[in-house]
Structure 1
Amino acid sequence: MGNSFTINMEENFKKNQEFITEMNTIKIERQLQMRNQMRERQVALEIAKSRELFFWYGAFYLTSVAWAITSYRYKRKSIYLAPLLPLTFVVAYQADLAYGNKLHRIIVEAEHILQFESDLLTLPLGVPTASSIDLKRLQNDEQKKLHPVLPQI
């Protein structure tokens, strides 16, 4: 009787371990999915911001062009057309970012860096560990004890 009880306990233990492993796997997959969805939403928000900024730059650029051409017609001085050159680059860059394939080129460059220049991505002092985080937390607690925050007057 004791032998079958031990076998049942071992089977239950294995089933529990498998269940826990499966739950952890599902939990990690859900976290990854959540983080990816948050990243996608942040990227969409940045693209929307770029497009909104492009409308403002475009309006400013068209107003500047109208002013520069009008000033050039009346005074015949080419100096009035000079600001159009840098403004054209600014508007072209923003248009490429908002509606062109600049974001795709940025992603390709980021992938290149990740694959071939990963040494640029290392953190100073390496990746934080649980012990280094705890040590810093304890140091902050000790600092608060030594130098308490004074109330505002």
Structure 2
Amino acid sequence: MSILPILKWPDPRLSQPCDPVAPGEDVSDLITDMLETMYDAPGRGLAAPQVGVMKRVFVMDCGWKDGDMTPVICINPEIVASSEEVVSGEEGCLSIPDAPAEVTRPERITLRWTGLDGAVQESELTGFEAKCAQHEYDHLDGLVIFDRLSDEDRARIEGAYLETLK
């Protein structure tokens, strides 16, 4: 197990869509490292492209900071349904540190994924879990929180973030 370096925006890999995990492909070491990295960061979600691996994998644990660790491992996830009702809330990103943004997303989603054991799972997610899963899912499609903002908000927040890198 090892803690992996987390890519920072504007690394071009964060803007690239990821490839599916092939049937039988072993990603167990990657997932172990991603979980260790997420908990160390400390974050509540981490997608494979954030550690430079262009595969459709993310991990999340929405409640560990307030209780027990209950990680969710999502291989080749799909959002199969989403509510018309939306909610807005502040989101941060381990790849864009200290640059939170107000993002609007569906309030509820149905997520289908394959677990590490190879079993297909499906769950309706609401609240913070829905937000976290959508955020990590965006990374698999090459999207970051800046891509969910109006042009004006993006210019302001991304510009301020890029200034901190100078």
TM-score by length of 1: 0.24
Structure whose residues are more often strand by fraction: 2
Larger radius of gyration: 1
Q: Which of the two has greater helix per residue?
A: 1
